[in-house]
A = this chain, B = another copy of it.
Amino acid sequence: MTQGSAPAEREAREQGEASGVTRLRNEREILAAAERVFARYGYRGASLQAIADQAGLPKSNVLYYMGSKRGLYVRLLERMMERWNALLDDISVEDDPAEVLEAFIRSKMQLSRRHPEGSRLFAAEILGGAPFLQEYLRGELRDWVRARARIFEQWAERGLMDPVDPVWLIFLIWSATQHYADFEAQVLGITGRDALSDADVEEITTFLTRVILKGCGVRPQVD
């Protein structure tokens, strides 16, 4: 983002280490509060007052730290995209399909599990037509999907899996894993739980892995 194009002064000057700690803590508090509020109400529906209340700070302070509502929102989106990109590791044709697909499902599930608010924030952004993420979708993410798709196709050619459309397969995995964060209210309401336990998440992950791998003809790893 905005970093060091203009040298200016070094921020190495520390005025009382306690104040630096406060600054970091406030910043984290605001980001966490904003993620909750934006996820729940969407960009337009969220108010800076609600975010400030959640963070336990005056509204002016939120604007002092973040500059503007739009800037805060974009920053949260970028943070979520970084988390997403972190698990988009490279794979090769030589890898084992079962291993790769399971790792894919598992890491995606953990991302939704670890950052449910961020996941919902992302979902709300897409739901509203992705006004801030068009570029990312049509660029970086599209390239990543195409690269993976090509590998899936090569696996199919080698008879390691059924010749299913790899793009629809990726969407299937995304939707199935994202569901438990985005539609949490529905899942909890129907199953009658207060929250999903780690055991539940593990069970769901196993279920999804088994059904999807079997569904596209990937034989579990045999050593």
Residues of A within 8 A of B (CB): 39-46, 120, 123-124, 126-130, 133-134, 137-138, 141-142, 145, 164-165, 167-169, 171-172, 174-176, 178-180, 182-183, 185-187, 189-192, 203-204, 207-208, 210-217
Complex CA gap A130/B165 in Å reads 34
Verify A182–B138 contact, CB threshold 8 A. Answer: no
Known contacts A176-B175, A192-B138: A39-B216 contact under CB 8 Å: no
A174 closest partner in B (C-beta): B179
Known contacts A44-B42, A127-B39, A127-B120: A142-B176 contact under CB 8 Å: no
Number of identical monomers bound together in the oligomeric complex: 2
A135 closest partner in B (C-beta): B189
Complex CA gap A133/B148 in Å reads 38
Complex CA gap A128/B38 in Å reads 10
Verify B127–A182 contact, CB threshold 8 A. Answer: yes
Verify B207–A168 contact, CB threshold 8 A. Answer: yes
Given contacts A42-B124, A174-B183, A175-B183, 11 further A-B contacts (CB under 8 A): A39-B127, A43-B45, A45-B45, A124-B124, A127-B182, A168-B208, A171-B176, A175-B176, A213-B215, A215-B215, A215-B216
A124 closest partner in B (C-beta): B127
Verify B187–A171 contact, CB threshold 8 A. Answer: yes
Known contacts A42-B41, A127-B39, A203-B165: A138-B189 contact under CB 8 Å: yes
